Amino acid sequence: MAQIISIHSFRGGTGKSNTTANVATYLATKGHRVGVIDTDIQSPGIHVLFALDPSEVDRALNDFLWGRCSIEDAAYDVTSRLGGPVDGQVFLIPSSLRTGEITRVLRDGYDVSLLHDGLQALVRELRLDFLLVDTHPGLNEETLLSIAISDALVIIMRPDQQDYQGTGVTVEVARSLDVPQILLVVNKTPDSFDHWDVEQRVAQTYNCEVAAVLPHSDDLMTLASAGIMLMRFPKSSLARLYRQLGDRLCEGL
Amino acid sequence: MSAELIETAAQVRAAVQRLHDRAREAGAESTADDLGKMLRAADNLRGLLDQLPERTVQAMALQDSRKLRHDLRTPVNQILGYGELLLEEAEDESEPRWVSELDAIHSDTRALLKLVDRVGIDNDAPVAATIRRSSAPERAAVGKVLGTILVVDDNRANRELLERRLARDGYAAITADNGVEALRVVRSQRIDVVLLDIMMPVMDGYETLERLKSDPELRHLPVIMLTSLDEPDSITRCIQQGAEDHLPKPFDPVLLRARIGSSLEKKKIRDLEREYLVRIVAEKRRADDLLHGVIPIGVALTAERDFNRLLERVLREARRFCGADGGGLFLRKDDDLEHVQLQCDSVELRPGDATEGRGDKATLVLRVPEHGRLRPAAKAALGGAMVNLGDVYEAEDLDLSAVKAFDSWHGYRTQSLVALPLRGAEGEVIGVLELWNATRATDDAVVPFNDGMLEVLESLSRLAGAALECYRRETVLRRRIRHLEIRVDEANRRREVSQITETDYFRNLRDMAQKLRASAKSGADG
């Protein structure tokens, strides 16, 4: 039975796409077939981490939503672009990078129920073990749908006052939707913080499990944006924490 | 002219001779001695006058003419000078004798001087002396020396005459017979004014003056040139070279006193100026010490990240500025002063060493004990003011038990001691810096903490206080940062959640999700 995992954050810039790409890669290294769908139609970006050039993208999630193709036709096998050999496979369903397509979504919207059908079809057609949904930040109809149909929800937050309130709302909404597994990840945590203390306080505040406290590092962030961190620097503390998060998600299988 | 000169000179000599004989007969030995000197001067003059016709012819050149008048004037001035002295002394006596005779000699000698001043000058009227002889001079207060005057003249009689004149006016006089000797004297002892003759062997007055004025240490010494009335060029030259004033021969007592007094007054002002300058230079040096020494240390202290090293450095730098053999640092904790640093070169203390009384673990309670005596550090902390003791054992109002125990334990002797409060940002006392046994750099002798040391120490203690306070604040801040504070507005959160969950869309979504999960579960179970 495939697991649908939504990676969500209340605010942009929390490191959602990086976390998604690294966890997907880790799951593939464990031999799983993993799908990654970029539902952030308004500001797509995860394709960069998988080294997918926009010129290569002739079909995208947008095309499925407008009825131009089936969803599996918009899936790209990016396994060879992960930066090293893996036993499993990673398929990326990008959102369109064409400005016109993005504008159309913003103007006309789309039938959210189609997204539900698409996700189900994707799991089925690509025989996925995991489908990771990289969502648009905040809470709107499509993110609520992603959360609703997820088996696990990973909420990424930063140790920043601007994130505390929204994260609280997201956790509570996810509980209302009976999402079986809700995990919090604290990202970009300054070194001055005691990470163990952060984990305890966040868990206590939201009454929710904290799967990882990821450190902030300008160097690592610069390197990370150029590829899959986990493959390029497998011995780094950040890679270790991504693996820890992946393992925790596998336990839900 | 020559005949009149010779006749007047003979007349003066005869009058001096007569008075000399009468003084001898009367047993007035002192007066007779002076008249004898006047007689010898008159004889010298006669010898010179015998050569006058030939020398007058030779004295065609200006320089030669001046030399001739200088030679003739010297014995005439001696007669005048001794005559005036005798006259003044006679007038001072209760029963004056020979006043009219001395007056006559004085009058004739003045006339003689006028004639001498015209020798070699055709049709030129001599420059007449315009200053009248004084009445009785003001006597200096007994025992009070008004200043030390150096008389530089190659003529012994002139030197002696001036020496007596100056002594009479209350000055200490020192003599030199040429410029070289004069320079040696002014470099070896304190001189207030120099009376300097121009024409002298070995080194003349011009060169002596030039050397005095080109020496930075001596150029402020007032120099009064001893000149002749007919030498305006010489006077101008000397003034241009830096002479303070000039005094025409023969010396008028009033003029002599006036010019020496004026020069002394100017010298006093110059000495004051120099003294102020020295003080300004010293102040500037102190300011430089602060700027280039203390402030960089303060900056370095603020940047120190290791607290123990910071404490150790505060004490070490403070000791270095005053050569203190030892010292301690206390930090305030509630109502106690904790002893956190101890250093003493003589007993080779190391951090952590157990030391009687001044040990690292010793704590002072900040309240006045029943016996009323506080330890120096406690007094500085409670009073908020520096405690400075020249010899700590003489401070009977302080509790010295710890100092004495330390001294006894180590065979040491604490003498000078200073305790300075260290202040935090709000001016509150956060600790005390205690130093003892300041040493003098030249011989390592133990000395009291002087004003210069205290000034630097006070600046350093302010910076050290700021550095300690800065460290304390940073520590608190770091502790606060390490503990994440998460604030969630529960009422707002509930409102925002309900705005989402109480919509039809959400309710439908939840139903759909429940069905999906139920279906998945049944599929899995089946």
Lookup result for tokens 């599929």: B523
Residues 6+ apart with CB under 8 A from B151: B159, B162, B163, B166, B173, B174, B175, B176, B195
Higher pLDDT pick, B10 / B352: B10
From the list B478, B486, B520, which residue is nearest A164 (CB)? Answer: B486
Q: Is A221 on the interface with B (CB under 8 A)?
A: no
Using a CB-CB cut-off of 8 Å, the residues of chain A touching B520 are 1
A164 half-sphere exposure, CB direction, 13 A CA radius: 17
Return d(Cα B337, Cα A176) in angstroms, integer: 59
Do the chains contact at A144 and B505, CB–CB below 8 Å? yes
**How many angstroms from the chain centroid is the CA of residue B481?**
57
CB contact (8 A) between residue B486 and residue A205: yes
- The rounded distance, in Å, linking the Cα atoms of B330 and B431 is 5
> Residue A10: phi, psi to the nearest 5?
-75, -30
Judged by CB atoms closer than 8 Å, whether chains meet at A197 and B482 is answered as: yes
CA B34 to chain CA centroid, nearest Å: 45
The reported pTM is 0.47
Whether the Cβ atoms of residue B127 and residue B100 lie closer than 8 Å to each other: no
Best residue in B476, B481, B484 for a mutation probing chain A (most A CBs within 10 Å): B484
Closest in B482, B492, B496 to A193, CB measured:
B482
Tell me if A165 and B489 make a contact (CB, 8 A cut-off). yes
- Give the B-side interface with A, CB within 8 Å: 478, 481-484, 486-489, 492-493, 496-497, 500-501, 505-506, 509-510, 512-514, 516-517, 520, 523-524
Stretch B214-226: mean pLDDT: 88
CB contact under 8 A, B509 and A148: yes
d(C-alpha A225, C-alpha A222), whole Å: 6
CA distances to B86, B96, B164, B400 from B92, in Å: 10, 7, 15, 68
* Mean local confidence (pLDDT), B144-159: 85
* Whether residue B222 has pLDDT greater than 60: yes
Find the closest chain A residue to B488 by CA distance: A165
Which of A150, A160, A164, A179 to substitute to test the interface with B, most B CBs within 10 Å?
A: A164
The whole-angstrom separation of Cα B309 and Cα B463 is 16
Chain B neighbors of A201, CB-CB under 8 A: 483-484, 486
The percentage of residues in chain B with a pLDDT greater than 90, rounded to a whole number, is 16
**Other Cβ atoms closer than 10 A to B495:** 11
The pLDDT of residue B476 is: 75
* pLDDT tens digit sequence for B431-471: 999 999 999 877 788 999 988 888 888 888 888 888 888 88
Query: Is the predicted pLDDT of residue B520 greater than 70, yes or no?
Result: yes
Contacts of B504 in chain A (CB under 8 A): none
Mean pLDDT on B477-482: 68
Reported residue count of chain B is 526
Provide the pLDDT confidence category of residue B350 given band limits of 50, 70 and 90: low
pLDDT at residue B482 in the model: 64
**Inter-chain residue contact A192 with B509, CB threshold 8 Å:** no
DSSP state of B289: I
Distance from CA of A247 to the nearest CA of B (A): 22
User: Rounded mean pLDDT of B500-506?
Assistant: 91
Task: Give the 3-state secondary structure of A113-160.
Answer: HHHHHHHHHHHHHCCCCEEEEECCCCCCHHHHHHHHHCCEEEEEECCC
Instruction: State whether B509 and A144 contact (CB < 8 Å).
Output: yes
Instruction: Flag whether pLDDT at B123 surpasses 50.
Output: no
CB of A195 within 8 Å of a chain B CB? The answer is: no
List, for residues B272-284, the tens digit of each pLDDT value. Answer: 888 888 888 877 8
Q: Inform me whether the pLDDT recorded for B94 exceeds 80.
A: no
Burial call B292-330: b when 16+ CB within 10 Å, e when fewer = ebbeebbeebbebeeeeebbbbbbebbbebbbbbbbbbb
Asked whether the beta carbons of residue B486 and residue A141 sit closer than 8 angstroms, the reply is no
pLDDT > 80? residue B124: no
Most confident of B15-29, B279-293, B341-355: B15-29
Q: Do A148 and B510 touch (CB under 8 A)?
A: yes
Q: Please report the pLDDT score of residue A43 as a whole number.
A: 84
Best of B478, B508, B509 to substitute, by most chain A Cβ atoms within 10 angstroms, is B509
**How far does B477 lie from chain A, in Å, by closest CA?**
11
pLDDT of residue B240: 84
At B140, the pLDDT band (50, 70, 90 cuts) reads: very low
How many pairs of residues across A and B have Cβ atoms under 8 Å apart? 71
Inter-chain touch A177–B482, beta carbons under 8 Å: no
Rounded to whole angstroms, the Cα distance separating B133 from B113 reads 14
Q: Do A176 and B484 touch (CB under 8 A)?
A: no
Q: Which pLDDT tens digit goes with each residue over B230-257?
A: 667 778 888 888 888 888 877 778 888 8
Minimal CA separation from A103 to chain B, in Å: 24
Residues 104-143 of A with CB under 8 A from B: 116, 139, 141
Hey, of B488, B505, B519, which one would you mutate to test binding to chain A, going by the most A CBs within 10 A of its CB?
Answer: B488
Q: What's the average model confidence in pLDDT over B185-214?
A: 89
E strand or H helix at B23: helix B2-26
The C-alpha of A163 sits at a distance from chain B's nearest C-alpha, in angstroms, of 10
Residue in chain A closest to B525 (alpha carbons) equals: A1
State how beta strands B193-197 and B223-228 pair: parallel
User: Do B463 and B321 form a contact (C-beta atoms < 8 A)?
Assistant: no
The residue written with tokens 């139920």 in the block is B518
Mean pLDDT of B147-154: 90
> How many angstroms from the chain centroid is the CA of residue B478?
52
CA A52 to chain centre: 17
In A, which residues are within 8 Å of B524 by CB distance? 1
Q: Residue B450: phi, psi to the nearest 5?
A: -90, 175
pLDDT at A28: 97
Is-contact B415 B438, C-beta < 8 A?
A: no
> Are the beta carbons of A141 and B505 separated by less than 8 Å?
yes
Burial class (CB in 10 A: 0-12, 13-18, 19+), B519: exposed
Contact call for A165 and B488, based on CB within 8 A: yes
Please tell me the number of Cα atoms within 13 Å of B472 on its side-chain side: 15
CA-nearest residue to B503 within chain A is A141
Q: Would you state the structure tokens that stand for residue B20, as one six-digit string?
A: 């000399």
Q: How far is residue B475 from each of residues A44, A80, B233, B338, B480, measured CA to CA in Å?
A: 43, 50, 82, 19, 9
Task: Mutate one of A163, A167, A172, A210 to test the B interface: name it (highest B CB count within 10 A).
Answer: A172
Q: Alpha-carbon Rg of chain A, whole angstroms? A: 17
Q: Quote the mean pLDDT of chain B.
A: 81
State the Cα–Cα distance between residues B330 and B345, nearest whole angstrom: 19
Coil, strand, or helix at residue B221? Answer: coil
SS (H, E, C) B440-494: CCCCCCEECCCHHHHHHHHHHHHHHHHHHHHHHHHHHHHHHHHCCCCCCCHHHHH
Q: Please answer yes or no on whether A194 and B483 come within 8 Å at the CB atom.
A: yes
3-state secondary structure of B86: helix
Chain B residues touching A165 at Cβ < 8 A: 488-489, 492-493, 496
Interface contact flag, B500 A161, Cβ < 8 Å: no
DSSP per position, A211-248: EEEEEP-HHHHHHHTTS-HHHH-TTSHHHHHHHHHHHH
Alpha carbon distance A115, B131 (integer Å): 128
Could B501 and A201 be called an inter-chain contact, meaning their C-beta atoms sit closer than 8 Å?
no
Query: Measured between CA atoms, how close is B475 to chain A, in angstroms?
Result: 12
Task: Show the DSSP H helices in B411-450 as ranges.
Answer: none
- Does A73 contact B at CB distance below 8 Å? no
- Does A203 lie at the interface with B, CB-CB under 8 angstroms? no
How long is chain A? Answer: 253
Positive or negative CA dihedral for B494, B499, B505, B508? positive
- All residues of chain B having their beta carbon less than 8 Å from the beta carbon of residue A174 are none
Under a CB-based contact definition with an 8 Å cutoff, are residues B439 and B324 in contact? Answer: yes
Kindly determine whether residue A145 and residue B506, on different chains, have CB atoms separated by under 8 Å.
Answer: no
pLDDT digits (tens, 9 = 90+) for B2-53: 677 888 888 888 889 888 888 888 888 888 898 999 999 998 888 888 776 6
Chain B residues close to A194, C-beta within 8 Å: 482-483
> Cα(B50)–Cα(B9) distance, rounded to whole angstroms?
11
Query: Token pair for residue B151?
Result: 């008389």
State how far residue B474 is from chain A, nearest Cα, in angstroms: 12
- Flag the least confident range among A195-199, B143-147, B185-189, B264-268: B143-147
SS3 content of chain B, % helix, strand, coil (to 5): 55, 15, 30
The pLDDT assigned to A5 comes to 96
**Integer Cα distance of B164 and B145 in angstroms:** 14
- Upstream peptide bond of B250 is cis (omega within 30 degrees of 0): yes
Q: Who contacts B24 (Cβ-Cβ below 8 Å, separation ≥6)?
A: B32
Q: Give the residues across from A157 on adjacent strands.
A: A186
Q: What percent of chain B has pLDDT over 70?
A: 88
Q: Which of B493, B510, B523 sits opposite A165 (nearest CB)?
A: B493
Each of the 253 residues of chain A gets a pLDDT tens digit; together they read: 789 999 999 988 888 999 999 999 999 999 999 999 999 888 888 898 998 888 999 999 999 988 899 999 999 999 999 989 999 999 999 998 887 877 777 777 777 778 888 999 999 999 999 999 999 999 988 899 899 989 999 999 998 888 899 999 999 999 999 999 999 999 999 887 888 889 999 999 999 999 999 988 666 666 656 788 889 888 888 899 999 999 999 986 5
Q: Residue B141 has what pLDDT?
A: 44
For residue A197, the chain B residue with the least C-alpha distance is B483
Q: Which residue of B has its CA nearest to A201?
A: B484
Query: Who contacts B75 (Cβ-Cβ below 8 Å, separation ≥6)?
Result: B41, B42, B44, B45, B48
Instruction: For B158-192, give one letter per residue: b (16+ CB within 10 A) or e.
Output: bbbbbbbbbebbbbebbbbbbbebbbebbeeeebb
